[in-house]
Amino acid sequence: MSDTETVTHHRVCHLCEAMCGLVIQTEGARVVDIRGDRADPLSRGHICPKAVALQDIHEDPDRLRQPLKRVRSAPGVYHHEEIEWGEAFDLAADALAATIRDHGVDAVGAYFGNPAVHNYGMLTHQRNLFRHIRTRNRFSATSVDQLPHHLVSLWCFGHMLLQPIPDVDRTHYFLMLGANPLASNGSLWTVPDVRRRLKDLQARGGKLVVIDPRRTETAEMASEHHFIKPGTDATFLLAMIHVLFRDELVDLGAMASYTDGLDEVGAAVRDLTPQWAEARTGIAAADIERIAHEMAAAEAGICYGRMGVSTQAYGALCQWAIQVINVVTGNLDKPGGSLFTAPAMDQVANTGPGGFARFTSRKRGLPEFNYELPAAAMADEIRTPGEGQIKLMVTGAGNPVLSTPNGQALDAALEEVTFMISLDPALNETTRHADLIFPPTSPLEHDHYDIAFHNLAIRNTARYNPAVFDKPEGAFHDWEIFSELGERLAERLNLAPMPRMAPDRLVDSALRAGPYGDQTEWQLSIEKLKAHPSGVDMGPLEPSCPERLQTPEKRIHLAIDAVFEDIDRLVNEQLEQTETYRLIGRRHVRDNNSWMHNHHRLMKGKPRCQLLMNTADAQREGWQAGMLIKIQSRIGSIEAELACTDDVMEGVVSLPHGYGHGQPGTRAQTASQHAGVSCNDITDEQFIDQLSGNAALNGLAVKLSIGAMA
């Protein structure tokens, strides 16, 4: 094949949850065109700006191609040098084996970031290494993101991955809290081209109601938007449930015969009136009552909440209340409501249900979930002496120094571990501490199947695509890195290694054994998906309960003792009367946490790392746009440029997540030019959702003043 011959490839964009189909044209080793795949049954030709940046990611001159070893050049001064793969594997296996022999498996800590779920080799082959390291010190982005969803699904439906999916294409009423899918393309909800889907909802006479402290891009197009005081969403939701019971609007429909706990829920909200909620939330009691009545009267309705309600002090309570509303209005497991998926590779059928609080962190007693501790405990578990102290840290596809609460404390703690290993293509704010960095192939150099996001999609589809480019000579895929490390560690510990099987073979086996496999008319397999490179559509989501429920008796459980205790905590909480502001985050369609900022196509345009503040608040303070404002919390302070707007409610300020680049020892030229500040240098690791252990990044009390550099 010549370097001038144009070749067309089909591919799924892996840069967010939307799974947009792409058509990529290449000439030799160059990408010459990326556009939406109109034949994809899920995305229908839609893409966002991130998809075009796949070329930038592949061609990024800062992307690592060879393992790096950290070398001390002077006391306290380090740099990284390239080494050969074999030497790197041996050094890592030696360090792991020595740590386990000397201190036990719990002396190994591990953190995996959000991109790990977007790469199926990382999902399928972590176990090739960690089956030898069954440490209690595992952490992930789950507990700074979506833990409340999984915990509520475990409690109510019997499995942490059994997530109800909003059926936006058939709904008539959509109540959305703390979510901005026009920027995120959906979150725990794979929904490409969501703008058009929401417009279609309104065109058929439906209504979109958004509850959010900021008038987001999604709120701008909503039928109705209400500001709400950050961290009070649970109060709003509980008052809605109160109205549904008080006004005899509870109607479970088909779910009535397999739902338990209704009386207990009614008793728990008996005194939580809209008037009580109005004083806390800032939303009028009459509006709360009306929204509850509209939700109950809708032909089909959805209540959905995401990051804004998950990452707050009552995140799990919010997610429980959302599911209660869907159940008691008869909208769970109903077309146009929220439905469970029936994916070709079913994570619910292929994984354990999960568990909660089987052990706790050593210092603060925070509960595990699915054998992971909350990320807010990570620095403590590195620094607290004694049995189980982390001596060696492993990170994969993550940058927790920028992404987890009190990133400065974690930044300092990582310098205290004896050894650190990172599987990552970037020398970033976290991996700069690593003694060894193993860079995997680029996304376009390996094949792809979305294991996770087909389980969250608004239609049941399946799509597999081979690599666009051949793997470079001497390079390793991420699954091969895990396998190689696992084999070398097993040899040193005299253990049996796991068989090495490529991820496409594992997926093929799961597809053939799945609901559309060898025993069905679909006959799904990797080979069939190769023959249909734009994907196969198995149709819309359909009612599947009670069979789909994973509780032992196939029933929905609404009466959760821990939840009722959290309601008491909320009711008895003293309302703070202070002069502080409340900090919330925000997302941009060109962002995805900290890993999208080194690509020039995504960083073009106006600066995004600014502090948004209500215009009236700024006027009262005597401040003007462009000034540097100091933002201070219990743990520290940062300074950011002020931008004034009416799109945030009074008393609220907003900073985006994932910035704070340009640290010494990193290698990211474009990101450093747009460094910004890390909001997680002021988010507080002590400020968590007490029910789940999830980080509370939204609703943090902060004090503002004119910055020292202003």
Same domain? 309 vs 355: no
326 domain residue, yes or no = yes
Q: How many C-beta atoms lie closer than 10 Å to residue 64's C-beta?
A: 20
What is the pLDDT at residue 586?
95
What is the pLDDT at residue 592?
80
What is the pLDDT at residue 75?
87
Please say which residue of 544, 566, 588 terminates a domain.
Answer: 566
229 domain residue, yes or no = yes
Question: What is the C-alpha separation between 10 and 525, in angstroms, rounded?
Answer: 17
Strand partners, 396: 112, 423
What is the pLDDT at residue 66?
98
What is the pLDDT at residue 4?
79
537 domain residue, yes or no = no
Total number of domains in the chain: 4
323 domain residue, yes or no = yes
533 domain residue, yes or no = no
CATH code where residue 617 lies: 2.40.40.20
455 domain residue, yes or no = no
The CA distances from residue 516 to 46, 109, 274, 308, 409, in Å, are 26, 39, 47, 36, 48
The residue to which tokens 């946490």 are assigned: 593
CATH code where residue 277 lies: 3.40.228.10
**Spatial contact of 391 and 107, defined as CB atoms under 8 Å apart:** yes
Same domain? 217 vs 92: no
Same domain? 500 vs 374: yes
86 domain residue, yes or no = yes
Please give the structure tokens belonging to residue 56: 């930038």
Same domain? 115 vs 156: no
What is the pLDDT at residue 153?
98
Question: What is the C-alpha separation between 403 and 378, in angstroms, rounded?
Answer: 12
Same domain? 18 vs 136: no
H or E segment to which residue 339 belongs = strand 338-339
Rg (CA), the chain: 25
Residue 324 DSSP SS3:
helix
**Spatial contact of 534 and 463, defined as CB atoms under 8 Å apart:** yes
Same domain? 293 vs 276: yes
What is the pLDDT at residue 709?
63
Q: What's the CA dihedral at 182, 188, 189, 190 to 10 degrees?
A: 90
The CA distances from residue 375 to 134, 210, 540, 559, 695, in Å, are 18, 30, 36, 28, 8
Residue 457 DSSP SS3:
strand
464 domain residue, yes or no = no
Same domain? 234 vs 300: yes
Same domain? 103 vs 203: no
Please give the structure tokens belonging to residue 429: 């704010």
What is the pLDDT at residue 1?
54
Please say which residue of 64, 86, 112 terminates a domain.
Answer: 64
CATH code where residue 77 lies: 3.40.50.740
Same domain? 376 vs 338: no
Question: What is the C-alpha separation between 661 and 668, in angstroms, rounded?
Answer: 8
pTM for the whole thing? Answer: 0.97
Taking Cα atoms as reference points, which of 479, 492, 510 lies closest to residue 128?
Answer: 479
What is the pLDDT at residue 710?
52
pLDDT beneath 70, residues of the chain:
1-2, 576-578, 709-710
Please say which residue of 15, 42, 64 terminates a domain.
Answer: 64
Taking Cα atoms as reference points, which of 262, 247, 227, 229 lies closest to residue 295?
Answer: 247
pLDDT (tens digit per residue) in 353-393:
999 999 999 999 999 999 999 999 999 999 999 999 999 99
Same domain? 289 vs 370: no
Instruction: Show the domain range for 16.
Output: 6-64
Same domain? 139 vs 182: no
What is the pLDDT at residue 577?
61
Same domain? 129 vs 216: no
